[in-house]
Chain A
Amino acid sequence: MALAFDEFGRPFIIIKEQEQKTRLRGLEAQRANISAGKAVARILRTSLGPKGMDKMLQSPDGDVTITNDGATILEQMDVDNQIAKLMVELSRSQDYEIGDGTTGVVVMAGGLLEQAEHLLERGIHPIRIAEGYEMASRIASDHLEHIAQKFDFGMTNIEPLVQTCMTTLSSKIVNRCKRSLAEIAVKAVLAVADLERKDVNLDLIKVEGKVGGKLEDTELIYGITVDKDMSHPQMPKQIEDAKIAILTCPFEPPKPKTKHKVDIDTVEKFQTLRQQEQKYFDDMVQKCKDVGATLVICQWGFDDEANHLLMHRNLPAVRWVGGVELELIAIATGGRIVPRFQELTPEKLGRAGLVREKSFGTTKDKMLYIEHCANSRAVTIFIRGGNKMMIEETKRSIHDALCVARNLIRNNSIVYGGGSAEISCAIAVETAADKYPGVEQYAIRAFADALDSIPMALAENSGLQPIETLSVVKSQQIKENNPYCGIDCNDVGTNDMREQNVFETLIGKQQQILLATQVVKMILKIDDVISPSEY
């Protein structure tokens, strides 16, 4: 453990509490790191593709999650190893950036690490490997652009978008009704999309789930749902042409933030105070009524008296609505969030064609639907499903599908899936490798081999002979000069992904390759791991 010694052989203490730390150096460190990275990739490998399996994860509190979303698996796994944590980060950044392909990126990184290990054994310096990988990733990314296709869609022609979302959904448990879910996702994205700026704010799409019913009952609501009910049981359950006052001030007596005391020392004071209080409540309700509101949505609670006054004046109200929901309601109805009663004006009211309360099942579950809003730029996807886990998983799947649709609107280039893009890249990288003199050539070639790991995993998960299938497809690509041949996971009978309608976004794929390369480079550059020892 010692780092340096003086002339008598006594160690210099350089690191604080040096004896209590374990340390790995040089090749040892790289090997250990690579094996940790590979172990993570191995866990995810079986989840890849339409026939991938799920993982069951039990959290420290005993809750069960079943998923095959790479990012979720890694996040819930609660890993301890530092390198494994890097892989988790990798998957997460793919999730933030693209939203889909979180499993693929980790498998890719795993493949790269595996190849790097072989090269290290041959005595190639890790930095040279890293540089080779970097070059190769640039070649691959350029090649992807080369084989990518633009495809056209419009508000009326959403079919291509739906097809892409279906590819994403087909690997999830919801693939039973992938068609309807894909349509929902695409319609939701188009509803909120800003086609001129080519951007989509996914925050405008709210994904709500409620246990019960079946997956087929999942619906897209052009409006907002709020998991609340009217504050008074006898308020009307349905309001048409609602004018909504959106308030962030409670229907309660004023509560100045500075400390104060109201001293009561005479009977008169007591009585005036009482009258003041009553007037205050009355004023609050009256103000809402005066501006013409027919529905009050409030972030805070109501006093009993205020509640009755509202009921009495025939002004339905909803209380304890969360901040995020309040904002969405404001966006959807075109209203303004009003922080004080004094500032309430008719222009600040939101408008909605229909507000209704809907109850579910045998228990007293109620939700408030706000529909036909003035500005339908906020939509809600309302998921129903057999149980909680199913709903959670559907939420994640829908999220992926939404991200894919968004990416397509941002950039409408696609590459074909089923491993075809990877195989094609592998061929391109392989041929390019020969042009590089020097040791990097080996690294570039290794990169090509690593690219094969994704189609290989796909074939393996689909129950095909991995090596045989891959070599057949590869030779077919070269022979026919057709970069659209991939692994036929669903046993349809054709290798041509154009016929199978399996495609993915170009940026998603590029990002996968770049991110994976970056992380692998980082791992390779580590040659010293110092960690506090177990005890």
Chain B
Amino acid sequence: MAIEKILKDEASEEKGERARMASFVGAMAIAELVKTTLGPKGMDKILQSTGRGHQVTVTNDGATILKSLHIDNPAAKVLVDISKVQDDEVGDGTTSVVVLAGELLREAEKLVAAKIHPMTIISGFRMAAECARDALLQKVVDNKENAEKFKSDLMKIAMTTLSSKILSQDKEYFAQLAVDAVLRLKGSTNLEAIHIIKKPGGSLKDSFLDEGFILDKKIGVGQPKTIENAKILVANTAMDTDKVKIYGARVRVDSMSRVAEIETAEKEKMREKVQKIIAHGINCFVNRQLIYNFPEELFADAGILAIEHADFDGIERLALVTGGEIASTFDNPESVKLGHCKLIEEIMIGEDKLIHFSGVEMGQACTIVLRGASQHVLDEAERSLHDALCVLSQTVNDSRVLLGGGWPEMVMAKAVDELARKTPGKKSHAIDAFSRALVAIPTTIADNAGLDSAELIAQLRAEHQKEECNAGIDVISGSAGDMAELGISESFKVKQAVLLSATEAAEMILRVDEIITCAPRRREDRM
């Protein structure tokens, strides 16, 4: 008799070899997809959303590309996931991690075809990953003590990160921008304090870092346009109609005159509130919520600059920058900390008017104004800059630095190769495969740059047999070059995260021997 069906109607079940094939193929397809964006000569992708307006994004950021894909293959989802985590955690290397995981699976597929048990492959991969990490640890340079050198390290890392992005033309300029911004953070990883404003127009070179703070808002009508030695009150309070918050309160009156009376009382209340605010001795008032015309007028009369509807982030940053506290009640003016700054003025960037706070007390926050030809360029520039900022802020905390340009991969590959030779048993095949997967990254970089990868990698491999070798791929001249001289560096933390998450993901996919897909949830028919 026929075996009973166990699963639901539309569910599918794939077993053993088929399941493994499905996940390998899916994972490799994803890796192939982002492969061409790797390296300084990597290409960009256009992503068109299916939503209304068919918005277009041009990017070569791995995480952004993968995030926008709708993927059905479960194994591919694992890769998308690691790329997202890499983005959250270190900000850069989102492409590398996917490519490495893809290469590991490609090698694993060959081993599985050669009848090596996946568990053996996994234990080999693990040993190899451990060994590769140790190899890197031995080669790291830590310049934390030497501020001058450390800054140049940061500069190099920023340039390396930016060189694969749209900003590569002006990478020195932007690297300087990013390093300055991150150093202002003084070790905190809170990138919120760095405010990026995008304004179309001008060229990328016109972008600048502002020491102060720029708020994308207009100054109220009839109020002073510049204020020197400003005392700022940052507030989050209702300045429209200050409602009575007690539940169930409502106005019930029996004549028109009463309505008028209550309205006056309301106005009076507002006036009192404004008076209280003015009593703080301020000359600038920034509120998160709307300010209606009536209080605005009162402020204008008192010669106070009132800025309404600054969004939540803006308020928080402004409070950070000026050192004031966010206030919601105004009864004790003496104990509210006010923010200070030297000068508030209205500035023009392109067509738009912005408010500029300069000479602020706490130097933690700053603003980067990006200019560029179109919104797409700006978006991509922001992403690139964000990557650079992330990497830098992580490097400030963990100051270990490696060389770039495929150098770390070659170092790891060499160490792993040696391990493979020493390991008895079937595992050595897996370890060998791991080293091949590592070499695939410089190979891809070279391929993307249109170089003869086979030749180059062979040269690199030979170079690396020597002690203390700094050889990597010099994409500009198309040959093996000294990475230390060329000033190409990468953060150790990023490389380590790439190595470990890629291995983890590959391991996870390898362990699977059965895929069970549940029946898709039925949409309710609304016909």
Chain A residues within 8 Å of B247, by CB: 253-256
A362 touches B394 (CB 8 A): yes
Chain B residues within 8 Å of A309, by CB: 328-329
Q: How far is the CA of A183 from the CA of B119 in the complex (A)?
A: 25
* Residue in B19, B248, B261, B500 with the greatest tally of chain A CB atoms within 10 Å: B248
Q: How far is the CB of A33 from chain B (nearest CB, A)?
A: 8
Q: How far is the CA of A264 from the CA of B249 in the complex (A)?
A: 7
Interface size for A (C-beta < 8 A) is: 87
A259-301 CB contact bits vs B (8 Å, 1 = yes)?
1111111110011011011101100000000000000000000
Given contacts A60-B521, A234-B325, A305 and B500 within 8 Å (CB-CB): no
B78 touches A64 (CB 8 A): yes
* Residue in B117, B247, B316, B505 with the greatest tally of chain A CB atoms within 10 Å: B247
A359 touches B190 (CB 8 A): yes
Q: How far is the CA of A252 from the CA of B521 in the complex (A)?
A: 41
Is B100 interfacial (CB 8 A cutoff)? no
Partner of A253, one of B246, B516, B519: B246
Partner of A77, one of B7, B244, B254: B7
Is A311 interfacial (CB 8 A cutoff)? yes
B328 touches A307 (CB 8 A): yes
Is A312 interfacial (CB 8 A cutoff)? yes
Given contacts A56-B512, A362-B89, A389-B78, A277 and B245 within 8 Å (CB-CB): yes
Q: How far is the CB of B303 from chain A (nearest CB, A)?
A: 25
Binds A, one of B69-77, B149-157, B223-231, B469-477: B69-77
Is A76 interfacial (CB 8 A cutoff)? yes
A191-220 CB contact bits vs B (8 Å, 1 = yes)?
000000000000000000001111100000
A364 touches B265 (CB 8 A): no
Given contacts A36-B4, A77-B516, A81-B4, A211 and B85 within 8 Å (CB-CB): yes
Q: How far is the CA of A28 from the CA of B2 in the complex (A)?
A: 11
| A interface: dominant SS | mixed
Kindly report which residue of chain A lies nearest to residue B515, judged by CB atoms.
A56
Is A431 interfacial (CB 8 A cutoff)? no
Is A354 interfacial (CB 8 A cutoff)? no
Partner of A64, one of B74, B87, B394, B504: B74
Q: How far is the CB of A249 from chain B (nearest CB, A)?
A: 14
Kindly report which residue of chain B lies nearest to residue A82, judged by CB atoms.
B4
| Those of A18-46 within 8 Å (CB) of chain B | 28, 31-32, 35-36, 39-40, 43, 46
Q: How far is the CA of A213 from the CA of B327 in the complex (A)?
A: 37
A-B contact count (CB 8 A): 238
Partner of A53, one of B78, B88, B245, B511: B511
B191 touches A362 (CB 8 A): yes
Chain A residues within 8 Å of B5, by CB: 80-81
Q: How far is the CB of B45 from chain A (nearest CB, A)?
A: 23
A308 touches B6 (CB 8 A): no
Interface size class of B (residues with CB under 8 A): 35 or more
A176 touches B521 (CB 8 A): no
Q: How far is the CA of A402 from the CA of B72 in the complex (A)?
A: 35
Q: How far is the CB of A328 from chain B (nearest CB, A)?
A: 27
Partner of B518, one of A60, A73, A255, A360: A60
B89 touches A56 (CB 8 A): no
A68-84 CB contact bits vs B (8 Å, 1 = yes)?
10000100111111011
Given contacts A53-B118, A79-B6, A308-B326, A212 and B89 within 8 Å (CB-CB): yes
Task: Please list the residues of chain A having a beta carbon within 8 angstroms of any beta carbon in chain B.
Answer: 28, 31-32, 35-36, 39-40, 43, 46, 51, 53-62, 64, 66, 68, 73, 76-81, 83-84, 173, 176, 211-215, 232-234, 252-256, 259-267, 270-271, 273-274, 276-278, 280-281, 303-305, 307-309, 311-312, 359-365, 385-390, 463
Sample of 13 A–B contacts (CB below 8 Å): A39-B6, A54-B512, A77-B516, A78-B7, A232-B326, A233-B320, A234-B326, A253-B246, A259-B248, A261-B248, A312-B327, A362-B89, A388-B85
Task: Please list the residues of chain B having a beta carbon within 8 angstroms of any beta carbon in chain A.
Answer: 1, 3-9, 11, 19, 23, 72, 74-75, 77-78, 81-82, 84-85, 87-91, 117-119, 126, 189-192, 236-238, 244-254, 258, 261-262, 264-266, 269, 316, 319-320, 325-329, 331-332, 335-336, 390, 393-394, 500-501, 504-505, 507-508, 511-521
Given contacts A264-B252, A387-B81, 11 further A-B contacts (CB under 8 A): A35-B1, A54-B511, A58-B517, A64-B77, A234-B319, A252-B245, A255-B247, A270-B244, A311-B325, A364-B192, A463-B117
